[in-house]
């Protein structure tokens, strides 16, 4: 499959945190030909393995499969639902089509003509919104807590960009799938575990369990990061779309790991950026680093605009370059003695 085909297929599957079964089932079937085995651990993480002798170091590469979503907060007579938007800017929601428990719906709000006084000048609030699912009563409606997903088709934007809900973090999942494709039938100097983690958006519990159980010699968290876009002047810490994956630099990434990733990118002539991460990287890498007795950890991110919105955008070449960097790392390998915790 091409990168665009992976992105299209993966973003078409809905998987809120705690509801990752559908995308996990899809990946289990699609990745079986590229792995020695595919397993699921006690937390629900899916792992595609390239096995090898125990004297080879274990390289763990993780990308989370859950996505942000809306949730049903209250059922109201007349076919309406109140919603919760814990990680999504409500300003982008009015008028969107959604899916609730398999049912189509639309997000509505009080029209400006019916607002009182200066209410129309106030910013949109969560309480101003509701979902219309067209059911007259309150029977046979999705219960409170049901995830609500955007019904917006993936699409190309210009020759290189791709837009869809859920690219955080299906863009990285696509990069891992391309990695496994590229390594099919090839010998590598490491044991490789490509992990598709759960629950990253609600606290990174899947990654914490994974790191403690596997205790890899090196862990890489692959996620998305903020790309430069209009109305953000002077934000030099933002990454550039189309300039390659962002290599994290900061306390979440020990210097030997940073040096290894940068060296491999340079030797393979893969365009890359350096991203300052002065604290919590906001990725699975933060949980992996302190798992068990501690794991040398790196963070590699794909630049993305409009994060946590219905119109997330990536440059397809950045996804491909991320896959190439991961492939180069797996084929180059590393020595355990080269990656001390400190």
Instruction: Output b/e per residue, 172-199; b: 16+ Cβ within 10 A.
Output: bbbbbbbbbbbbeeeebebbbbbbbbbb
E-strand spans in the chain? Answer: 37-40, 46-50, 58-64, 70-76, 80-84, 97-100, 103-109, 129-132, 147-150, 155-157, 161-163, 191-197, 218-226, 246-249, 273-276, 297-304, 313-315
| Res. 201 pLDDT band, cuts 50 70 90 | very high
pLDDT at 29: 96
pLDDT at 119: 64
Q: Which bin fits 166, alpha (ψ -120 to 50), beta or left (φ > 0)?
A: left
pLDDT beyond 70 at 233: no
According to DSSP, the β-strands at 147-150 and 97-100 are antiparallel
Alpha-carbon torsion (87, 88, 90, 95), positive or negative: negative
The two tokens of residue 261 are 């990733």
> Residue range 171-193: average pLDDT?
97
What structural domains and CATH numbers belong to the chain?
A: 3-68+166-338 (3.40.630.10), 70-150 (2.40.30.40)
pLDDT at 288: 96
pLDDT digits (tens, 9 = 90+) for 28-63: 999 999 999 999 999 999 999 999 998 999 999 999
For residue 233, which phi and psi values (nearest 5 degrees)?
-70, 145
End-to-end CA gap in the chain: 40
The two tokens of residue 38 are 């595919």
pLDDT beyond 90 at 117: no
Q: Which position has the token pair 């996505």?
A: 67
Within 8 A by CB and 6+ apart from 180, the residues are 31, 34, 35, 48, 50, 194
pLDDT beyond 60 at 168: yes
> Residue range 229-236: average pLDDT?
71
pLDDT beyond 80 at 331: yes
**Taking a C-beta distance cutoff of 8 angstroms, is the pair 147, 84 a contact?**
no
pTM of the model: 0.94
pLDDT at 230: 84
pLDDT digits (tens, 9 = 90+) for 4-28: 999 999 999 999 999 999 999 999 9
The two tokens of residue 39 are 């397993």
> Residue range 199-203: average pLDDT?
93
> Residue range 64-72: average pLDDT?
97
**Taking a C-beta distance cutoff of 8 angstroms, is the pair 307, 224 a contact?**
yes
pLDDT beyond 70 at 122: yes
pLDDT at 70: 96
pLDDT beyond 60 at 341: no
pLDDT beyond 90 at 118: no
The overall average pLDDT reported for the chain is 92
pLDDT beyond 70 at 234: no
| Res. 340 pLDDT band, cuts 50 70 90 | low
* Residues involved in catalysis: 200
| CA–CA dist 167, 202 (Å, integer) | 17
pLDDT beyond 90 at 81: yes
Lowest-confidence range among 3-17, 201-215, 221-235, 323-337? 221-235
């Amino acid at each position: 499959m091409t990168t665009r085909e992976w992105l299209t297929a993966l973003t078409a599957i809905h998987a809120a945190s705690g509801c990752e079964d559908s995308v996990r089932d899809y990946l289990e079937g699609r990745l079986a030909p590229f792995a020695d085995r595919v397993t699921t651990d006690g937390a629900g993480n899916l792992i595609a393995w390239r096995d090898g002798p125990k004297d080879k170091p274990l390289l763990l590469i993780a990308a989370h499969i859950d996505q942000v979503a809306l949730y049903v907060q209250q059922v109201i007579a007349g076919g309406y639902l109140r919603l919760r938007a814990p990680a999504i800017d409500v300003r982008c929601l009015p008028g969107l089509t959604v899916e609730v428990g398999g049912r189509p719906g639309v997000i509505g709000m009080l029209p400006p003509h019916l607002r009182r006084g200066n209410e129309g000048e106030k910013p949109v609030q969560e309480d101003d919104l509701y979902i219309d699912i067209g059911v007259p009563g309150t029977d046979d409606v999705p219960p409170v807590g049901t995830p609500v997903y955007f019904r917006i088709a993936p699409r190309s934007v210009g020759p290189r960009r791709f837009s869809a809900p859920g690219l955080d973090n299906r863009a990285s999942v696509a990069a891992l799938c391309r990695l496994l494709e590229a390594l099919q039938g090839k010998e590598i100097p490491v044991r490789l575990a490509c992990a598709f983690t759960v629950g990253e958006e609600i606290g990174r519990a899947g990654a914490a369990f994974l790191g403690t159980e596997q205790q890899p010699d090196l862990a890489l968290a692959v996620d998305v990061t903020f790309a430069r876009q209009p109305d953000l002047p002077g934000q030099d810490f933002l990454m550039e779309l189309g300039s390659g994956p962002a290599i994290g630099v900061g306390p979440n990434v020990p210097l030997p790991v940073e040096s290894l990733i940068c060296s491999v990118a340079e030797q393979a002539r893969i365009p890359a950026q350096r991203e300052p991460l002065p604290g919590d990287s906001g990725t699975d890498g933060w949980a992996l680093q302190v798992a068990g007795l501690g794991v040398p950890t790196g963070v590699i991110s794909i630049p993305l605009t409009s994060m946590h919105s219905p119109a997330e955008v990536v440059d397809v070449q950045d996804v491909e370059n991320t896959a190439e960097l991961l492939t180069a790392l797996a084929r180059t390998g590393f020595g355990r003695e080269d990656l001390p915790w400190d």
